[in-house]
Structure 1
Amino acid sequence: MPIAEIPLSVWRKHGKDFEFRGQRIRYWVAGHGEPLLLIHGFPTASWDWHYLWQPLARRYQLIACDMLGFGDSDKPLEHEYSLLEQADLQQALLAHLQVRQAVHLLAHDYGDSVAQELLARHYEQRIAIASCVFLNGGLFPETHRPVLTQKLLLSPLGWMLGRAFSRHGLANSFRQIFGPQTRPSESVLDDFWSLVHSNNGPRILHKLIAYIPERRLQRERWVSAMQRGEVPLRVIDGAQDPISGAHMVERYCQLIPEPDTVLLPGIGHYPQIEAPLPVLKHYLGFRDRLPSPSRQAVGS
């Protein structure tokens, strides 16, 4: 199946807006079929999925948004950002689009934590999740290895670093976490920076980074939900990732019954950008083995 890049300028033209708790959220929808919710990572946005967007849209109804504080959505300065609120946002978007059947999840990085929260809510009968695939992310706080920039943003001086954060700083961070043979081009770095910089994004990076301690608070609830085994799960992971690579998958195999994992050798933290064809292959392979589509209503 061919993979075609969607330039950021084109991607932006196809976005729509809806309001969430007084804030403007940018979202994208494409395709038909079972709903597939794509949840992006930190510090980027839904454009992360652009290589997979068209091939996945041939089979599924794709739904993605730039979460609050990310990409082209609003980035209020006086706001306490929370993974739990981002899960609320995903549910509000599904309600806005009148999606009532069980939803499949494909998540990355920060989005993994939002997906973990939605999975926990599934078992609380607050949403119906049909399946979940995690790309590289901090599924377990004990295996998460933040880069220096993340550590500094978490410090008392994080607000100063955020305001001084530049394209150069983003490029340096990304060169550390991408695979050695799959690092982003200057053009791709320009586009990533455009999304981070949009709506004065650097000034809130120190607030967004609060997701790291929040993960620790929710660990037992989220890991327990993954251990239930009723919702099909898969991990597709860039093994070379220093943040959540092969060492995270090793921990996943220790904690999750009958673990379904795929390691991509030489690939770093952004497998959907670095190796979109293998990610697509392993995602579709996972979906092809699932039972017939569930028509369970959300919340039923």
Structure 2
Amino acid sequence: MTSNSWKNKGKSINVFGRKLFVIDTGLVSSLTEKPLKETLVILHGYPTSSYDYYKVLPVLIKKYRVIIHDHLGFGFSNKPLDYSYSLIEQADFALQLWKQLNVTKITLLAHDYGTSIATEILARHNKQQIDLQINKLIICNGSIHIELSQLRTIQKLLKSKITGKWVAKLTSYTIFKKNLRNVYFDKTKVTEEELKEMWFQLKQNNGRKVIHLLSNYINERYYFWHRWIGALKETQIPTKIIWAKNDPVAVATIANLLAKEISNNKLFWIENCGHFPMLEKPNEWSKLVLE
């Protein structure tokens, strides 16, 4: 699917004076024409966008009203230079968006970067600071335990206040393509067309000028470690951990540790699969989400 085809599925919504690109499949299933009872909200990963879900969206909408947005700084959303890109503020934006869409009960699904936003939302939920009913939580391949993560060299360079800006300027499609391919288990599962679409969306709205600012999320994972890991330990929400076993970044050790820490959880493995299971093994991933 092309970026333009994906963009045509959604619209821009003004949240706190910034425009977020949002896909909302609505309250009615195109297959059954009956109101759907459940809403699935998705928090995507770094450095990509909601486009990560283009293969699985047709399956997910059979059960859910699906709402997925590009975080500020990603995809087709605004990418302001005068912004902190804190995960705390990304949580503010997600919660306000859902409020504007009159969403009160959700299944919350998060991958990669999105898992940190999800744990910030959980921290607030545990303290009854937000008026939102989270029925289920689904966590996929995120370096929540940042101390166990196997960060790529480019991630380390981008998060640095010294090298980040320069690395962002020098980053090319060739470098982007190489790094993204390397987090797949089966490198043939990502096509040149897909990579070009991802790069196109990354560059939208002066995206290369903010990529190093987005990378500060890694530092925040250390800074808010006790808050976010504590939120997972405290929550009683039924949690499904769906983990691609051969992820070279968010390694399998993280999933095993989360399974020990979250009280009400089930862990499901996807064998022979890398960091983007919804793209590399969409059928298997979708089945586990919907079960």
The two structures have a TM-score, normalised by structure 1, of 0.89
Cα deviation 1:125-176 (Å, max 9, x = unaligned): 2132111101111121221221011011022111011122111111111121
Corresponding residue number in structure 1 for 2:32: none
Aligned residues with identical type, % of pairs:
33
Corresponding residue number in structure 1 for 2:41: 37
Cα deviation 1:100-135 (Å, max 9, x = unaligned): 2x2111111001111111111211221321111011
Work out which of the residue numbers 77, 87, 92 in structure 1 matches 2:91. 87
Query: Runs of 4+ in structure 1 displaced over 6 angstroms?
Result: none
Cα deviation 1:192-224 (Å, max 9, x = unaligned): 101111111111111001101111122212222
Work out which of the residue numbers 154, 157, 179 in structure 1 matches 2:159. 154
Distance 1:208 1:181, change over 3 A: closer
AA aligned to 2:25 is A
Deviation of the 1:8 alpha carbon: 2.7
SS at match of 1:37: strand
AA aligned to 2:216 is A
Corresponding residue number in structure 2 for 1:117: 120
Deviation of the 1:250 alpha carbon: 2.4
Work out which of the residue numbers 70, 89, 101 in structure 2 matches 1:66. 70
1:107 maps to 2:105 = no
Deviation of the 1:60 alpha carbon: 1.1
| Residues 227, 255 of structure 1: 8 Å contact kept | yes
Distance 1:124 1:229, change over 3 A: closer
Q: 1:182 & 1:133 partners in 2: Cα distance?
A: 27
AA aligned to 2:39 is P
Q: 1:168 & 1:84 partners in 2: Cα distance?
A: 32
AA aligned to 2:102 is Q
| Residues 236, 263 of structure 2: 8 Å contact kept | no
Q: 1:7 & 1:267 partners in 2: Cα distance?
A: 24
Cα deviation 1:235-293 (Å, max 9, x = unaligned): 111111111131212222343335411121110000000011111111111xxxxxxxx
| Residues 63, 290 of structure 2: 8 Å contact kept | no
Corresponding residue number in structure 1 for 2:195: 189
Q: 1:256 & 1:57 partners in 2: Cα distance?
A: 28
Q: 2:182 & 2:189 partners in 1: Cα distance?
A: 9
Instruction: Provide the aligned C-alpha RMSD in A.
Output: 1.5
Structure 2: 5+ residue stretches without partners:
28-35
Q: 2:71 & 2:263 partners in 1: Cα distance?
A: 31
AA aligned to 2:107 is H
Work out which of the residue numbers 139, 161, 172 in structure 2 matches 1:166. 172
Work out which of the residue numbers 16, 20, 24 in structure 2 matches 1:25. 20
AA aligned to 2:24 is V
Distance 1:62 1:15, change over 3 A: same
| Residues 11, 22 of structure 2: 8 Å contact kept | yes
Deviation of the 1:46 alpha carbon: 0.6
Q: 1:87 & 1:99 partners in 2: Cα distance?
A: 15
Work out which of the residue numbers 41, 54, 61 in structure 2 matches 1:57. 61
Work out which of the residue numbers 171, 176, 198 in structure 1 matches 2:204. 198
Aligned ranges 1:267-278 → 2 under 5 Å:
267-278=273-284
- Figure out how many residues of one structure are paired with residues of the other and give that number: 279
Q: 1:68 & 1:254 partners in 2: Cα distance?
A: 33
AA aligned to 1:104 is T
Cα deviation 1:71-94 (Å, max 9, x = unaligned): 011101121111011111111111
Corresponding residue number in structure 2 for 1:225: 231
| Residues 181, 266 of structure 1: 8 Å contact kept | no
AA aligned to 2:125 is H
